[in-house]
Chain A
Amino acid sequence: MDKQNIQSESAISCKSINKTYDAIEALKGVDFEVERGEIFGIIGPDGAGKTTLFRILTTLILADSGTASVDGFDVVNDYKEIRKRVGYMPGKFSLYQDLTVEENLNFFATVFNTTIEENYELIKDIYQQIEPFKNRRAGKLSGGMKQKLALSCALIHKPSVLFLDEPTTGVDPVSRKEFWGMLKNLKAQGITILVSTPYMDEASLCDRIALIQNGQFLKIDTPKNIVSQYENKLLAVQSDNMYKLLNDLRASELTSNCFAFGDKHHVSVSSEQLSINNLKETLDKLGHTNIEIREIEPTIEDCFMQLSQK
């Protein structure tokens, strides 16, 4: 009966988690639930509290207040159970640099009371890509290969929940793309994945995301819903003098806010303000040349910027 109970519970559940380091409030009342078999992304800038949250959930540190459970087990009282059934890949590459690829994998298989053969199916796709280098020392691998090895090691015991703390930081775009492909495959095998990333473009690859800033969740929803709930219209504005343009746009009453976004400025305007022609005229008067204004679809990053302004 207990088992039934556990099955019906969500994979991860957090209730008003608080954590303070000295004077810094790393987490301020974090609440969320992760369903079984979903890829849940925690999206936020460096120092937002992502790693702290991961460490609390992987039982490495204790929260000051609030409760959390993983796979139906309490992170404080049942930490031993949790440690048996989760896979954890810390943000910093944390394998034995002086052991070879194969030795690392073997070592972690032994630590988790299993063998490479037993769960080879699960890691096959990932491990095959680094197998040609299996006699190379882990410290000598490239960033993308290190990350594949770390993922293989975190998966070797077929965890029910996988914690990936910024797995793609410092990894080239091709490997990043591959990596997310692998996560999709793992999800298909029924593994719940909690992944954090500072890259907003990766957010759309998650089933649901939580936007985190300064230890607080700004919003939890599917990436689609978050984008569709963007309150204003978004314009991409370009001219010859981009720096002056940014200042002028921010000063203008016609816009709510404005951010530099690659080679364009993303300008948020409320529906009442929206008048591309008005804006163009105003900028013309301010002496801007080659003005280009286009209405665009907001991205997760735009949503994050807007939410973090509130």
Chain B
Amino acid sequence: MMILLLMPIIQIILFGFALTTEVKDTQVAVLVPTNDEASSRIIDKLNASAYFDVVARIHTTDEIQPVFRDAKAKLVVVFEDHFGEKLRHNGTAHIQLLADATDPNAATSFTFYASNIINSYQQELMGENKNPYQITPEVKMLFNPQMKSSFNFVPGVLGMIMLLICAMMTSIAIVREKEMGTMEILLVSPMKPIYIILSKITPYFVLSCVNFATIMVLSVFVLGVPIAGSFMSLVAVSLLYIFVSLSFGLLVSTITHSQQAAMLVSGMGLMIPVMLLSGMMFPIENMPLPLQFISNIVPAKWYIRAVKAIMIEGLGITSVLKEVGVLCLMGIVLVTISLKKFKVRLE
């Protein structure tokens, strides 16, 4: 009952304020080979705008890749050599905008806003000197040059389906045994309760592996999303994620007594956070701090990040160690709690 009354309030607030696709305080790295007035003015303007936050300053092109890999910035602004000089003497200079296009919509907005800021600087210069200055921003979408949205949603769908199948179906399957009364008979048998649980989990484990395989096949051959990184590390990360989801389902099944309750808990506790807070639909960077903080406990967030890194950006497993670590930790915590809470009796 409370859920029915609270749901609209929470959703209105979430959608109204917290979850926006607007560009806000996006982290930007700048590559400035030669320091000069023009480049620092542009950097200041970027920084001063509400849209961007200049978080890193790099000096060579080799540093660009690590910036994206470590998710330090979503956009890298590359000034050409002797930018200010060229601008003063030739009247034209080039800026390259490199965006992480694994989320194509966000990438388009970033480059659009950045180009606008650069344009406005150009206007200012024109006003001062009446000389025709020309700064040409050149946009380059990294990792997803064709701007396919499937690059963004394949990892998202993976993250969601796995969680749904493993967590929701597992918890419902176990709770159904309780509801039907069959758990009562199974408990009064030599079968160890842990085997009962394992045998309930196995089919859904197999099912999610099959699902993983189908999603992979579909995304590679139908949607044309390549697996840029190592397939084995992708499989490894996915197995880890399945393990986390299964333990979540187990936890739900130990605290609920009816299929309806299990459905509600996994629906409210999983579906909505996964859709809203995993970064699948709404960029996490734009959320207020409390929500960003909460998003850290959504397993799907870490999984989707890892999948994006491996599958789209082609990075090795070493670059997603943090994500893997967090998922491991979540899995261990969830399994420990649910095994502790698991009852060998009815109550």
Q: Using a CB–CB distance below 8 Å, which chain A residues touch chain B? A: 55, 58-62, 79-80, 83-84, 86, 88, 90, 92-97, 108, 111-113, 153-154
Contact = CB atoms under 8 A, between A and B. Distances in A.
B345 A59 contact: yes
A59 B191 contact: no
A97 B177 CA distance: 11
Nearest to B182: A94
B345 A92 contact: no
Contacts of A97: 180
B301 to A, nearest CB: 38
A84 B189 CA distance: 6
Those 9 A-B pairs whose CB atoms lie nearest each other, nearest first? A94-B181, A88-B188, A84-B190, A60-B346, A92-B181, A58-B188, A111-B189, A90-B184, A111-B191
Interface-centre pick from B186, B188, B191 (highest chain A CB count, 10 A): B188
Contact of A59 (B185, B186, B188, B190): B188
B222 interface: no
16 contacts: A60-B184, A60-B346, A61-B347, A62-B347, A79-B345, A80-B190, A83-B189, A86-B188, A88-B184, A90-B181, A90-B184, A94-B181, A111-B190, A112-B189, A113-B190, A154-B185
Contacts of A96: 180, 182
Interface of B, helix, strand, loop or mixed by DSSP:
loop
Contacts of B347: 61-62
A97 B181 CA distance: 11
Interface of B: 180-182, 184-191, 344-347
Q: Among A55, A80, A93, A94, find the residue whose CB has the most chain B CB atoms closer than 10 A.
A: A94
Contacts of B345: 59-62, 79
Contacts of A153: 185
Nearest to A62: B345
Contacts of A62: 345, 347
A88 B185 CA distance: 7
- Interface SS, A side: loop
Contacts of B344: 79
B178 to A, nearest CB: 11
Contact of A61 (B185, B191, B346): B346
A86 to B, nearest CB: 7
B346 A55 contact: yes
A180 B345 CA distance: 30
Nearest to A91: B181
A112 B186 CA distance: 9
Nearest to A89: B185
A83 B192 CA distance: 10
B184 A94 contact: yes
B185 A90 contact: yes
Given A59-B345, A60-B187, A94-B184, 19 more contacts: A59-B188, A62-B347, A79-B344, A80-B190, A83-B188, A84-B189, A84-B190, A88-B188, A90-B184, A92-B181, A93-B181, A94-B180, A94-B181, A96-B182, A97-B180, A108-B185, A112-B190, A113-B190, A154-B185
Nearest to B188: A88
Contacts of B346: 55, 60-61
A60 B180 contact: no
Interface centre among B181, B184, B185 (most CB of A within 10 A): B185
A111 B184 contact: no
B185 to A, nearest CB: 5
